[in-house]
Amino acid sequence: MNSILKIGHRGAAGYIAENTLASFEKALELQVDGIELDVHLSLDKEIMVIHDETLDRTTYEKGYVTNFTSSQLQQLGIPTLIEVLTFINRQCFINIELKGIGTAKPVVELIEHCVLSKNWHYKDFLVSSFDWKMLEEVLWLNPKIRIGVLTEESIEGAWAFAKKINAHSIHPDYRLLSKENVVLMQEKGFEVFPWTVNFKEDIQKIKSLHVNGIISDFPDKI
Ligand code: G3P
Ligand code: CA
């Protein structure tokens, strides 16, 4: 059995403000195998790394991310995806979660640019989303990009969709997992990356199911 991959959620969000360069630096310091982050588009169509569709929770500004330019957002401490990739520089793989409307195409184009011109490899990326339409778009645009199917509702639904789009992995809310359904997903060829597993007892339990990776705010606890 291979070891379980440690994936830092929004960087290392348990220690440092989520989805910031400092949080990604902390995750690297904790020797993660992968970093999960969230993306939305700015007014000028840059890919910005932020979880919510508004600025209200994580900055001192208010309003929708899509109503601010990338330079305004950068001044609020929100990095662009390009900045983050340049900073991480292939030290671990990146799980890009598509949150904002219209993010599929620019993310695919950026991955292609990194692979063709910056010495990155497709296996350095994993694109996930709860919005399965956007995952279909990723597949249609570039079938070489690895896809992760997110679900907080149904393993069966995610599994059926993962088959349909030839996904790499299934990313369920960890509370949906059982010994049986983990085996079933793995037998069908999918890696299983549950989220967001933060407490010691939960981490122990999920590790005992032999999942392929765990997404955690405290990746050093995995
Ligand atoms: O990608 C796993 C997890 O991040 C999904 O939930 O709300 O933290 O983006 P959320
Ligand atoms: Ca996320």
185-211: pLDDT as tens digits: 999 999 999 999 999 999 999 999 999
CATH of the domain at 70: 3.20.20.190
Ligand 1 pocket mutation, candidates 50, 150, 168, criterion most atoms within 8 A of CB: 150
Active site residue 113: no
In ligand 1, the atom with minimum distance to the C-alpha of 97 is: 1
Instruction: Give yes or no for residue 47 CB within 6 A of ligand 1.
Output: no
Residue 38 CA, closest ligand 1 atom number: 9
pLDDT tens digits along 24-64: 999 999 999 999 999 999 999 999 999 999 999 999 999 99
Structural domain that includes position 199: 5-221
Q: Is 58 in the pocket of ligand 1 (CB under 6 A)?
A: no
107 membership: H or E segment, kind and range: helix 104-117
The pTM of this model reads 0.98
Packing angle between helix 155-164 and helix 179-187, nearest 10 degrees?
A: 0
Assess whether pLDDT exceeds 80 at residue 1: no
63-69: average pLDDT: 98
Give residue 2's pLDDT band: very low, low, confident or very high (50, 70, 90): low
CA distances, 169 to each of 57, 63, 123, 148, 162 (Å): 30, 34, 12, 5, 8
**DSSP secondary structure letter of residue 199:** S
Number of domains making up the chain:
1
Which mutation among 38, 39, 191 tests ligand 1's pocket best, with the greatest number of atoms within 8 A of CB?
38
User: Quick one: pLDDT at residue 104?
Assistant: 99
Q: Is 121 a catalytic residue?
A: no
Closest by Cα among 188, 197, 193 to 156: 188
Catalytic residue among 40, 51, 113, 121: 51
19 lines ligand 1 (CB under 6 A): no
